[in-house]
Amino acid sequence: MLWTKAWLEMRWRLLFGLGLPLALVLLMSAPRNRPAMAGIVFLLMFDAVHLAGSGITTQSGNLRRGRGLHGSTLFTLSLPVSRLRLLAVRIGVGMAATAAVIAIIICTVWLKFPTVRGDSTAADLFKLVVAAIVCNACFHLVSVLFATFLDETWQLFGCALAIFPAWWIVGRLSLPPSENIFAFLGKASPLVTHAFPWPAMAISVAASAILFFAALKVVQNREY
């Protein structure tokens, strides 16, 4: 039932997070728009995928629904469920929703825009979707960590303040694209390389695990 609850809490946000970029992509995919819009649509896909990945679309780390520190949290905490399970379910539903947004947007763009598709195959598309989901997991966990101690309004700022400096620093490290977790839609994209960016995916998984344990620690020590 916790899955249902998490789904009910994020469904409208998810619908908006998926619906808006998807509508724009479809609008721009009209034959007369296609050549001129290819660059814009790529940027749109880039933004939509990253926004979804950073949890903004789903707010899945948020255990504190309702007004202020209370809301319905006390009722949830009175249930015979561990805080680990509460957090894991929220993250699980959030990740699933995020994966859906990423997959739908990337597939739509790939299908509708030949310039983005290039000479890539369906297998390359599959690799891109998987790479995007895995590389985005750490951004999602950043949002989860912030959601454990910040109110909803401040979570967006928190995520932005953490992710943009990281993007800036990683950009200046001269890493090979396959090791750059921000490059899965660019130079390390499987649509170009025809391969998974394994190092970047491994870095993301490791960072996600660290962020998950940090979030869990905060949630377990938190007083309501």
Partner 1 sequence: MSDLVMETAELRKSFKGHPALNGLDLKVPRGSIFGFLGRNGAGKTTTIKILMGMSKADGGSARLFGMPVSDPGTGIKARRRIGFVSEDKELYPYMSVEQVIRFTRPFFPKWRSDLEQRYLKMFDLPPKKKIPALSKGMRSKLMLLLAISRGAELLILDEPTDGLDPAAVEDVLRELVAIAGSEGITIFFSSHQLAEVEQIADYVTIVDHGKAIVGDSLDDLKARYRRLHIVFESEPGTPFRWAEGVECLHQEGRSISILASRNVEELIEQARSVPGASVEEFPVSLKEIFLEHVRSN
Residues lying near partner 1 in the complex (CB under 8 A) are found at 1, 4-5, 8-9, 65-67, 70-75, 77-83, 220, 223-224
CB of 72 to partner 1, least distance (A): 5
Single-letter residue type at 139? F
33 vs 82, beta carbon nearer partner 1: 82
Q: How far is CA 204 from the centre of its chain?
A: 12
CB of 149 to partner 1, least distance (A): 16
Number of neighbours of residue 221 by Cβ within 10 angstroms: 9
Single-letter residue type at 44? L
8 vs 36, beta carbon nearer partner 1: 8
CB of 77 to partner 1, least distance (A): 5
7 vs 46, beta carbon nearer partner 1: 7
**Which tokens belong to 149?**
């101690």
Shortest CA distance to 102 belongs to which of 4, 185, 206? 185
Packing angle of the helix pair 83-112, 2-28 (nearest 10 deg): 20
CB of 94 to partner 1, least distance (A): 16
CB of 150 to partner 1, least distance (A): 19
119 vs 223, beta carbon nearer partner 1: 223
Residues 6+ apart with CB under 8 A from 18: 52, 57, 100, 101, 104, 105
